[in-house]
Amino acid sequence: MPDISEVTTSKVRNDHTHWRCMHETDGNECNTRLQMTQEHCTECDSSREEGSYAETHDGYQLGTLESFDPDVPKCKLTNGNICDTKNPMTDKTCSVCGIDRGIRSVALASNDDMLGVLASVDSEGREMWYYSITTNGTS
């Protein structure tokens, strides 16, 4: 899979179950861990805000909240935490993380050999894939 270090999404991944309040008061970060259903911190009473951490149920950090609009929160997934789920080519949205297929997505053969890479998507949603053709072991 291509090395991608950041992805911004407005969809909450299935494994994004908690958030960590990083609200700063008097030079100290709150650092309270909360469930995604809680919009306000139980410790400092601040709302979920930019810089809050996105976490899994076991505390693994997925990324940080980049901006927050109650209708459309945007979370930036960092540290290469890209979903590695294999989906059928007919599915344009990942069944696990909910992120739409994007540029540099990889096309795999049934034996997991890499066939090509998604190069672009036009304004009508048509995808342009670049394939690497190998015949008798030669590209």
Q: Over the stretch 13-22, which tens digit does the pLDDT of each residue have? A: 777 888 999 9
Q: Is 91 a member of any domain?
A: no
Q: Is 138 a member of any domain?
A: no
Q: Is 130 a member of any domain?
A: no
pTM summary value = 0.48
Domain that holds residue 26: 7-77
Closest to 116 measured CA to CA, from 80, 94, 89: 89
**How many structural domains is the chain composed of?**
1
Q: Is 63 a member of any domain?
A: yes
Q: Is 117 a member of any domain?
A: no
Confidence of residue 4 (pLDDT cuts 50, 70, 90): very low
